[in-house]
């Protein structure tokens, strides 16, 4: 009986406590519990915001440190500087291209022929269907590069002439006609002032010009020529030596380009008198530079690269570039032969027309301006 009495008292006390908890819940409601939960969530949110702000401040600090070290990093990485210069020059030549195109639209609006009756916006089969307006804009950038690149490389070689002619630098290995060959130190250091910058200028032009050719004048010969120049010159830019070889080749190639561009556009725009006046000059200049001076220069470079004493070898970039340039010499010979043949055919036709005779159809019907 005592056991049952004790058990009843415990159960009644438990019921009283439960009823008291229910009364407090009914009187005060859940509002006492929610503020505590809200305060906990608010504290967690504050901690998350603090962590995020701390991480962002660390990232900002790291970014500022990186930006401060960026000039130092560029100064210690020549290849990054060279690629940046190439991109800048490509943008500059593209700006010349677009500016010329915009000026042509102002001078001669679209779908209107020039006073000479030339259609600037129609497709031209000679240029793979590209309009003459786009061709003229591209040739303007080529003209600027030809003049600027020739002047820059000529000044550069004159500036470092003592280094290029130094006997210790060029290491003569053979004598020909009383002169010690090679004539120049073609493996002079690319660290000489202005050497790598001049190469980047030409590379930037060829990048821009290759993009134009691929998009507007997909001539396989032009595409191969531009791609070969980029493939040969880019390793030279990234290597420690070889700028003199490229500079000499650029001088001999660009010296006739302004004349060639003027001659080409004179024919395209129907300026017959200008074309007649420029044809002999361009043919003679191209024959001398590409047919005589360029092969002699390639022979001298070959002596410098492959004729070294003691088994010394030139840098791989120079050997590869020379192989590409040697193939280019063969292509120049083909172009020169076609140019001379076309010039002779044109002069013969002109002479027969002046005499009133009917010219015979030419046996070779390939275009004479294939260069």
| Residue-wise pLDDT tens digits, 341-352 | 888 888 888 788
Q: What's the pLDDT score for residue 365?
A: 41
pTM score above 0.85? no
pLDDT digits (tens, 9 = 90+) for 140-151: 999 999 999 999
Average pLDDT (198-215) is 94
Q: What's the pLDDT score for residue 176?
A: 81
Angle between helices 294-306 and 316-355 (to 10 degrees): 170
Q: What's the pLDDT score for residue 254?
A: 93
Q: For residue 87, is pLDDT > 90?
A: yes
- Distance CA(26)–CA(5), nearest Å, equals 32
Provide the pLDDT confidence category of residue 71 given band limits of 50, 70 and 90. Answer: low
pLDDT digits (tens, 9 = 90+) for 289-321: 999 999 999 999 999 888 776 656 788 899 999
- Distance CA(94)–CA(290), nearest Å, equals 28
Cβ neighbours of residue 295 closer than 8 Å, sequence gap 6 or more: 329
- Torsional class of 124: left (φ above 0), alpha (ψ -120 to 50), beta (otherwise): beta
Q: What's the pLDDT score for residue 371?
A: 38
Please say whether the beta carbons of 279 and 145 come within 8 A.
no
DSSP, collapsed to helix, strand or coil, labels residue 369 as coil
For the chain, list the strands marked E by DSSP. 123-124, 130-131, 174-176, 179-181
């Amino acid at each position: 009986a005592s056991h049952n009495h004790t058990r009843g008292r415990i159960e009644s006390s438990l019921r009283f406590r439960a009823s008291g908890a229910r009364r407090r819940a009914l009187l005060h409601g859940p509002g006492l519990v929610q503020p505590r939960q809200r305060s906990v969530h608010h504290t967690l949110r504050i901690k998350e915001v603090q962590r995020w702000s701390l991480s962002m401040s660390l990232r900002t600090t790291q970014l500022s440190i990186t930006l401060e070290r960026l000039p130092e990093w560029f100064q210690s990485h020549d290849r990054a500087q060279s690629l940046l210069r190439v991109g800048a020059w490509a943008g500059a030549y593209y700006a010349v291209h677009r500016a010329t195109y915009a000026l042509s639209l102002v001078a001669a609006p679209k779908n209107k022929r020039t006073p000479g009756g030339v259609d600037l916006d129609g497709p031209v089969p000679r240029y793979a269907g590209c309009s003459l307006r786009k061709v003229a804009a591209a040739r303007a950038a080529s003209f600027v590069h030809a003049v600027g690149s020739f002047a820059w490389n000529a000044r550069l070689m004159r500036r470092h002439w003592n280094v290029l002619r130094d006997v210790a630098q060029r290491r003569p290995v053979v004598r020909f006609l009383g002169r010690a060959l090679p004539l120049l130190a073609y493996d002079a250091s690319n660290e000489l002032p202005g050497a790598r910058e001049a190469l980047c200028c030409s590379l930037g032009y060829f990048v821009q010009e290759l993009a134009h050719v691929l998009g507007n004048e997909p001539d396989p010969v032009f595409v191969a020529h531009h791609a070969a120049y980029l493939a040969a010159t880019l390793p030279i830019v990234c290597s420690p030596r070889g700028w003199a070889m490229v500079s000499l080749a650029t001088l001999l190639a660009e010296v006739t380009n302004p004349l060639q561009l003027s001659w080409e556009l004179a024919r395209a725009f129907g300026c017959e008198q200008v074309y007649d006046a420029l044809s002999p000059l361009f043919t003679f200049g191209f024959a001398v530079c590409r047919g005589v001076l360029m092969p002699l220069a390639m022979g001298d470079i070959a002596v410098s690269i492959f004729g070294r004493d003691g088994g010394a070898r030139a840098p791989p970039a120079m050997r590869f570039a020379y192989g590409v340039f040697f193939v280019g010499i063969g292509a120049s010979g083909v172009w020169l032969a076609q140019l001379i043949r076309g010039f002779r055919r044109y002069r013969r036709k002109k002479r027969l027309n002046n005499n009133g005779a009917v010219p015979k159809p030419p046996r070779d019907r390939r275009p004479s301006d294939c260069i």
